[in-house]
A and B are shown apart, each in its own frame.
Chain A
Amino acid sequence: MIAKVTCYALQGLEGVPVEVETDVCKGIPAYEMVGLPDTAVKESKERVRSALKNSGLLFPMNKITVNFAPADIKKEGAAFDLAVAVSLLKASEQLVGVDLTETVFLGELALGGELRPIAGLLPILISAKGHGYTRFVIPAGNAREAAFLGGAQIYPAHSLSEVLAHLRGEMPIPPLATVTFVPHLQGKNSADLKYVKGQPVARRALEIAVAGGHNVLLVGPPGTGKTMLARCLPTIMPDLTFEEALEITKIHSVAGVLGEEGIVSERPFRTPHHTATVVSMCGGGNRAVHPGEISLAHGGVLFLDELPEYHRSALEAMRQPLEDGKITVSRAGGTVTFPARFMLCASMNPCPCGNYGSADKICTCSPAEIRRYRRKISGPLLDRIDLQVEVDNVSYDDLSSLEMSEDSQSVKARVDGARRIQNERYAGSGIHTNAEMGERELTNWCRLSAEGDDILRAAFERMQLSARARSRIIKVARTIADLAGSETIEPVHVFEAVSYRIYDKLA
């Protein structure tokens, strides 16, 4: 007899329906799998055999053929175990009179018959729901992540016997109750700007960066708190919406890095080490394509500490995603597009010894060494970083009145205000923040007064700014004006924007 059960395979962030067909017929006992299964799928043979035996079920001593359709896409991972087991039971007539056609089975089996959670469940559920499926049997370990999907009956099961009892109607599993999304579910990010002492200039720069969606470079000697400042970035970014959270969760689910709470409720903060390769940054892999760090940072912050230490190739590969907000990775296993709209925050020392520009320490680097160090970061990459700011070790005693550092919450309130202005301004134009402005938007929204234009021209002459800095300065000036609630870009906004282009002069 032939039994058909539906399961799902992942291609990037999309789920693809896979029919698991099992035929049990008389003949010399054999167990064959066809339909392009990879090693992990083929190994399910043994897992399914043991799981059946240890759940008190019969493993048929007949000729068994399992087919995965469509046959042209590669199946990988252990998520097919449950579907294979259920179809085998159906084909060997141990599940009689049960309709399996409308249900999707997902899960990995342990030898004892327990169900193990799988990676990428949420994107599969979202795709399957789009394909019209509404009934799912999933591992109980994935329940939290699945609970955010409304409008479907999801049955979390702990073991194969539970699934069987449920299907036979002996002991039905209660469907999962839908959970509504709350931002900052766990509040695990303990960073807060109020713990950052001093650094008024860098704090201001971060506020502007977040308000306008600009990328930011922190330049400063070691031990001045660059990393701590960067860690505060997610705390002043606008709250995640449910759609954003779902999209981020999908990526994290596929990568198998989803935490306990089952959904990403805070903006991600990714800190890849500087030994990261192009593949680990942008995504890829031998067989299936996995999302890279820039996709895991989608909707949040990608923090690159010690920017010049990163492989040049890894940095250059980020240029195009920085513009497009997505990355398309092609591998033998297929071509996949992952979203990658992140805020880049990078830090670096001002020179190899780290003391250049320091008040109390002497820099021992020669000008040529400093130039070589800075040249490790290419112009085109630097071009995409709107704000470059010095983080300094100003002694705390100097700043008596600044003892009470502002906390993230109040900074966030200002950021939210500036974002609201931008949302209204760009409504319907496909962009959301000042940083995304193109030439057309620049002429529409950022006309400078004659005085502002004069300032810019003077800035170019006196401060030896590079020509490409011009539109960057205007965008930042626009954000500063938004933060100030000003309709027009005033000279003071241009002046401030100019002061965040230190690298143009240093390089």
Chain B
Amino acid sequence: MEYSEEERAIIGLCMTADESRLSVLARAFSELFDPLSGEKICVSMIEKAAKRVYKDEVLPSEAERNAAIAGLESHKMFAVTLVSADYPAGLRAISDPPPVLYGMGNRALLRRRKFCIVGSRILPAWAEQTGRTIASDLSRRFTIVTGIAEGGDRAAIDGALAGGNLICVLPNGLDIAYPAAHTSLQREVAKRGLLLSEYAPGVKTKKYAFHARNRILAGLSEGVLILAAGARSGTLITAHCALEYGRELFALPHNVGAAQGEGCNEMIKAGAWLCTCAGDIFAAYGMETEAPPRIPLSEKEERLLAALKEAGELHAAVLAERTGIPVFEAQATLASLEMKGLAVRAGGNRFSAI
């Protein structure tokens, strides 16, 4: 990877700075970028800003910085800085943009239109399935931005990973997987999509890093969809960032009284877009939506689906009774509906339509 002089200066200084200095350095660098002045940044300005941070101490040597940059290559990572051409414009506009973004995977995704889908780790089965469908539909026109966690993030990843139009932002160095169970998933994302982080390789996860990461999720994207969030969910941080940055906010509606959806419903009340399918998001951006293809259904499937839609969520046995179909046949028909993506198993032999 070839970096310009300015890029090298920023990457080298950021990678060699210790943790406490890094945050001051980040602020100093972002202050250099006054969008109104339109002044071109040069190496001396960067060095001067860094010297103010280091005060009386000497800056890290040229050799040290070069070694750090060379370390990136060995990890097969690249770095994007505030002075790089493909640094996402949306992210640059926020109050505290990360001076360097480390990436692994398809760098071209940075230039695409981006949309963020997140949700809490525990969410209802229907919300997970809906999230997957929306992510899959949306990824045809947007690059999906999300974190890497169970539940909502996972739904977004599952939906978009196949097409490769996916960016996952991590709260730690890209060579680290947290939790360790995500190692293979992370590798897969790097292969097909893009992994991003503001942390240099080797930096471990800290509690506050999740909060800081959420600002990048919102900053990168034109809009944010919340699949599920409790009243005090961490997902709400992403939502608040999105509002602060003036991005569109979408939320999936939930049942009244469902704790996992309280946050979503509150957001809708406060003016977020109510979203049930990818079409809602396309419409908000003035894009045309294509009608979903009609799936041919048998007579029994129609009957079961109608009963399921009427009730929201229903036990297989109750469903069988209401439609007059024997339980075991209802089981079979539900499995068929599930495969056609029209119903989802909610646990405890209960199903819901989607």
A-side residues, CB < 8 A to B, are 198, 200-201, 204, 220-221, 350, 356-359, 362-363, 366-368, 371, 390, 392-394, 398-402, 455, 458-459, 462-463, 480, 492-493, 495-496, 498-499, 502, 505
**Does the CB pair B339–A462 fall under 8 Å?**
yes
Contact A462 B341, beta carbon cutoff 8 Å: yes
**A499 x B335 contact (CB < 8 A):** yes
B205 in contact (CB, < 8 A)? no
Q: Residue A495 contacts which of B320, B333, B347 (CB distance < 8 angstroms)?
A: B333
For A398, the chain B residues whose CB sits under 8 A away are 315, 317-318, 321
A201 with B317: CB separation less than 8 A: yes
For the complex formed, measure the closest distance between the CB of A366 and the CB atoms of chain B, giving whole angstroms. Answer: 7
Q: Which residue of B lies closest to A224 (CB)?
A: B348
- Closest-by-CB residue of B relative to A458 is B339
Interchain CA distance A425-B233 in the complex, whole Å: 59
Asked if B338 and A463 sit within 8 Å, CB to CB, the answer is yes
Which chain A positions have C-beta within 8 A of B184? none
Contact flag A459-B350 (CB < 8 Å), given A368-B181, A401-B321: no
Tell me if B122 counts as interface (CB < 8 A to partner A): yes
B122 touches A462 (CB 8 A): no
B327 adjacent to chain A (CB < 8 Å): yes
Asked whether A358 and B259 contact (CB < 8 A) given A399-B321, A462-B341, A499-B332, the answer is no
A367 x B122 contact (CB < 8 A): yes
Minimal beta-carbon separation of A329 from chain B (angstroms): 38
A356 and B124 CA atoms in complex are apart in Å by 11
Complex Cα distance, B347 from A198, in Å, reads 17
Q: Which residues of B contact A350 (CB under 8 A)?
A: 347
Contact of B349 with A by CB under 8 A: yes
Chain B nearest CB, measured from A305 CB (Å)? 19
Distance, CA A499 to CA B349, complexed state (A):
10
Chain B residues whose C-beta falls within 8 Å of the C-beta of A480 in the assembled complex:
328
Determine the residue in chain B with the shortest Cβ distance to A356: B347
Supplied contacts A367-B122, A390-B349, A401-B321, 16 more A-B pairs, CB within 8 Å: A198-B317, A201-B349, A358-B347, A362-B259, A366-B121, A392-B348, A394-B317, A394-B318, A398-B318, A399-B321, A455-B339, A459-B339, A462-B341, A463-B339, A492-B329, A492-B333
Chain B neighbourhood of A392, CB < 8 A: 315, 348-350
For the complex formed, measure the closest distance between the CB of B182 and the CB atoms of chain A, giving whole angstroms. Answer: 10
Across the interface, name the chain B residue whose C-beta is closest to A493. Answer: B332
CB-based contact B341/A204 at 8 Å? no
**Chain B 242-271 interface 0/1 with A at a Cβ cutoff of 8 Å (1 = within):** 000000000000000001000000000000
Cα A498 to Cα B328 with chains together (Å): 12
Which among B181, B345, B347, B348 is the interface contact of A371 at CB below 8 angstroms?
Answer: B181
List the 4 closest pairs (A to B, CB-CB), nearest first.
A357-B347, A495-B332, A367-B150, A496-B332
Residues of A within 8 A of B317 (CB): 198, 200-201, 394, 398-399, 402
- How far does the alpha carbon of A350 sit from the alpha carbon of B320 in the complex, in Å? 24
- Is there contact, CB below 8 Å, between B321 and A402? yes
Please count the residue pairs between chain A and chain B whose beta carbons lie under 8 angstroms apart in the complex: 95
Is B334 on the interface with A (CB-CB < 8 A)?
yes
Q: Which of B327, B345, B346 contacts A200 (CB 8 A)?
A: B327
**Which residues of chain A are near B327, meaning CB under 8 Å?**
200-201, 204
- Cβ–Cβ < 8 Å partners of B341 in chain A: 462
Could you say which residues of chain B place their CB within 8 Å of the CB of A390? 347-349
A459 proximity list for chain B (CB < 8 A): 335, 339
Task: Please measure, in the bound complex, the distance between the C-alpha atom of A493 and the C-alpha atom of B151, giving whole angstroms.
Answer: 32
By the criterion CB–CB under 8 Å, are A200 and B335 in contact? Answer: no
Residue of B317, B327, B329, B334 with most chain A CB atoms under a 10 A cut-off: B317
For this complex, 16 residue pairs linking A to B, each with C-beta atoms less than 8 Å apart, are A201-B317, A201-B349, A350-B347, A390-B349, A392-B349, A393-B348, A398-B321, A455-B339, A462-B341, A463-B338, A480-B328, A492-B329, A493-B332, A495-B332, A495-B333, A502-B345
Within 8 A of A (CB), among B294-353: 315-318, 320-321, 327-329, 331-336, 338-339, 341, 345-350
| Docked CA distance A358–B339 (Å) | 23
Contact between A495 and B335 (Cβ–Cβ < 8 Å)? Answer: yes
B179 beta carbon closer than 8 Å to chain A: yes
Interface bracket on B: 20 to 34
Within the complex, the shortest CB–CB distance from B243 to chain A, in Å, comes to 28
Whether B348 pairs with A496 at a CB distance below 8 angstroms is no
Question: Which residues of B have CB within 8 Å of A402?
Answer: 317, 321
| Min C-beta distance of B181 to chain A, whole Å | 7
Known: A201-B327, A401-B321. A357 touches B346 (CB 8 A): yes
How far apart sit A473 and B257, CA to CA, in the bound complex (Å)? 38
A226 to chain B, nearest CB (A): 13
A399 CA to B151 CA, complexed, in Å: 32
From residue A231, how far is it (CB to closest CB) to chain B in Å?
21
Q: Which residue of A has the minimal Cβ distance to B158?
A: A464
B122 and chain A: residue at smallest CB distance: A367
Q: Whole-angstrom distance between the alpha carbons of A117 and B144 in the complex?
A: 77
Residues from chain A with a CB closer than 8 A to the CB of B345 are 502, 505
Chain B nearest CB, measured from A369 CB (Å): 11
Q: How far is the CB of B137 from chain A (nearest CB, A)?
A: 16
In Å, the complex CA distance between A354 and B336 comes to 28
Within 8 A of A (CB), among B176-210: 179, 181
Chain B min CB distance to A217 (Å): 14
Instruction: Identify which of B122, B321, B327, B347 gathers the most chain A CB atoms within 10 Å of its CB.
Output: B347
The smallest beta-carbon distance between A254 and chain B, in angstroms, is 41
Which chain B residues border A399 with CB–CB below 8 Å? 317-318, 321
Distance between A495 CB and nearest chain B CB, rounded to angstroms: 4
Contacting pair A363 B122 (CB below 8 A):
yes
Question: For B121, B336, B338, which residue has the most chain A Cβ atoms within 10 angstroms?
Answer: B336
Residues of B within 8 Å of A357, CB to CB, are: 346-348, 350
**Are the CB atoms of B320 and A200 closer together than 8 Å?**
yes
Distance, CA A463 to CA B151, complexed state (A)? 16
Chain B residue numbers with a CB within 8 Å of A358 are 347-348
In whole angstroms, what is the CA distance A398 to B348 when docked?
Answer: 15
B318 pairs with A462, CB closer than 8 A? no
Complex: chain A residue closest to B346, CB-CB: A357
Closest chain-A Cβ to B244's Cβ sits at a distance in Å of 29
What CA separation (Å) do A171 and B53 show in the bound complex?
A: 115
Query: Which chain A residue shows the least CB distance to B317?
Result: A200
Q: Is the CB of A201 within 8 A of B316?
A: yes
Chain A residue nearest to B149 (CB atoms) is A367
Expressed in whole angstroms, the Cα–Cα distance for A339 and B309 within the complex equals 52
